[in-house]
Amino acid sequence: MDSIKNYISEHKDRFLNELIDLLKMPSVSADTAYSQDVIETANAVKEALEKAGCDITEICETDGYPIIYGEKIINEKLPTVLVYGHYDVQPADPINLWASPPFEPVIKKTELHPEGAIFARGACDDKGQMYMHVKALEYMVKTDNLPCNVKFMIEGEEEVGSNNLGIFVANNKEKLANDIILISDTGMIANDVPSITTGLRGLSYVEVEVTGPNRDLHSGLYGGAVANPINVLTKMIASLHDENNHITIPGFYDKVEELSTEERDEMGKAPFNLENYQKALDIDAVYGEEGYTTNERNSIRPTLDVNGIWGGYTGEGAKTVIASKAYAKISMRLVPNQDWQEITDLFKTHFESIAPKGVTVEVKPHHGGQGYVTPINTLGYQAASKAYETTFGKKPIPQRSGGSIPIVSLFEKELNSKTILMGFGLDSDAIHSPNEHFGVWNYLKGIETIPYFYKYFTEMTNK
Ligand code: BES
Ligand code: MN
Ligand code: MN
Q: How far is CA 232 from CA 109, 210, 319, 355, 411, in A?
A: 47, 8, 19, 8, 41
Pick the closest to residue 131 from 105, 161, 168 (CA basis).
105
What's the pLDDT at 32?
A: 97
pLDDT of residue 462: 77
Counting ligand 1 atoms within 8 A of each CB, the residue from 404, 409, 420, 432 with the most, and so the one to mutate, is 404
> What is the CA(327)–ligand 1 centre distance, in A?
24
Same domain, 116 and 166: yes
Residue 333: which domain range? 202-256+302-369
136-188 pLDDT per residue, tens: 999 999 999 999 999 999 999 999 989 999 999 999 999 999 999 999 999 99
Taking 80 as the threshold, does the pLDDT of residue 338 lie above it? yes
Same-domain status, 365 and 389: no
**DSSP per residue, 68-119:** EEEEE-S-TTS-EEEEEEE--B----SGGG-SS-TTS-EEE--SS-TT-EEE
Report if residue 281 sits inside a domain. no
Any ligand 1 atom below 6 A from CB of 405: yes
The mean pLDDT value of the chain amounts to 97
- Of 349, 369, 389, the last residue of a domain is 369
Strand 325-334 with 303-311, pairing: antiparallel
Pocket test for ligand 1, best of 87, 159, 426 (most atoms within 8 A of CB): 159
Looking at residue 178, what is its pLDDT?
98
Instruction: Please report whether residue 268 resides in a domain.
Output: no
Amino acid at 37: D
Sign of CA dihedral 320, 353, 342, 211: negative
* CATH number of domain containing 186: 3.40.630.10
Give the chain's domain count.
2
Q: Which residues surround ligand 2, an ion (CB under 5 A)?
A: 125-126, 185
Q: Are 93 and 121 members of one domain? A: yes
- Asked whether residue 205 carries a pLDDT value surpassing 70, the answer given is yes
Determine, yes or no, domain membership for 266.
Answer: no
The ligand minimizing its distance to the Cα of 30 is 1
> Counting ligands in written order, which one lies closest to the CA of residue 366?
1
Domain identity same for 146 and 187: yes
| Beta carbon of 236 within 6 Å of any ligand 1 atom | no
The rounded Cα 350 to chain-centroid distance in angstroms is 28
Residue 463, pLDDT > 80, answer no
Q: Does the CB atom of residue 129 touch ligand 1 within 6 A?
A: no
* Strand 149-155, strand 67-72: pairing: antiparallel
Closest among 14, 12, 41, 9 to 28, alpha carbons compared? 41
Q: Tell me, yes or no, whether 210 and 106 share the same domain.
A: no
Tens of pLDDT, residue by residue over 11-26, are: 999 999 999 999 999 9
Asked whether residue 2 carries a pLDDT value surpassing 80, the answer given is no
* Number of the ligand 1 atom closest to the C-alpha atom of 421: 8
Q: Ligand 1 pocket test: which of 162, 185, 442 has the largest number of ligand atoms within 8 Å of its C-beta?
A: 185
Please report whether residue 189 resides in a domain.
yes
pLDDT in tens, 448-461: 999 999 999 999 99
Does 419 sit in the ligand 1 pocket, CB within 6 Å? no
Tell me how far CA of residue 118 lies from CA of 95, 121, 262, 322, in angstroms.
17, 10, 40, 46
Kindly indicate the confidence band of residue 263, based on its pLDDT and cuts at 50, 70 and 90.
confident
221 & 165 share domain: no
pLDDT at position 76, please?
Answer: 95
**Phi and psi at residue 454, in whole multiples of 5°?**
-60, -45
- Ligand 1 lined by 403 (C-beta under 6 Å): yes
Mean pLDDT along residues 1-17 = 95
413-416-421 Cα angle (round to 5): 90
Query: Cα(357)–Cα(348) distance, rounded to whole angstroms?
Result: 17
Taking CB atoms within 8 Å and a gap of at least 24, the contacts of 217-226 are 217/321, 217/322, 217/324, 218/320, 218/321, 218/322, 219/320, 219/321, 219/322, 220/320, 222/322, 223/322, 226/322, 226/358
Nearest ligand atom owner, CA of 87:
2
Domain stops at, among 339, 369, 399: 369
Q: Based on the domain organization, do 152 and 109 belong to the same domain? A: yes
* DSSP H or E run through 267: helix 261-268
Q: Give yes or no: residues 42 and 191 share one domain.
A: yes
pTM of the model as a whole? 0.94
Average pLDDT on 116-125 reads 98
Q: Report the nearest-CA residue for atom 15 of ligand 1.
A: 404
Residue at a domain's end among 348, 369, 390: 369
| CA 20 vs CA 248, 307, 406: distances in Å | 46, 30, 28
What is the pLDDT, as a whole number, of residue 282?
Answer: 97
Q: Is residue 43 part of a domain?
A: yes
Ligand 1 site, residue 336, Cβ cutoff 6 A: no
For residues 84-102, give the mean pLDDT.
97
What share of the chain in percent tops pLDDT 70?
Answer: 100
- Assess whether 113 and 237 both reside in one domain: no
Cα-to-centroid distance, 162 and ligand 2 (Å): 11
Beta bridge partners of 372: 200
| Cβ atoms of 463 and 436 closer than 8 Å | no
Task: Give the residue among 136, 132, 150, 265 at the shortest CA–CA distance from 186.
Answer: 132
Phi, psi dihedral angles at 255 (to 5 degrees):
-105, 5
Residue 267 lies in a domain: no
Mean pLDDT calculated for residue range 236-242: 98
Q: Is the CB of 128 under 6 A from ligand 1?
A: no
The residue whose CA has the least distance to atom 10 of ligand 1 is 405
Nearest CA to ligand 1 atom 1: 185
Kindly report the CATH number assigned to the domain that includes residue 247: 3.30.70.360
Whether residues 252 and 144 share a domain: the answer is no
In a domain, 286, yes or no: no
pLDDT per residue over 379-419, tens digit each? 999 999 999 999 999 999 999 999 999 999 999 999 999 99
Q: Specify whether 228 is located in the same domain as 111.
A: no
- Cα separation, 45 vs 338, whole angstroms: 35
Among candidate residues 145, 124, 121, 159, the one with its CA nearest the CA of residue 25? 121
Q: Say if 187 falls within a structural domain.
A: yes
Residues 195 and 79 in one domain: yes
CA 460 / ligand 2 centre spacing (Å): 29
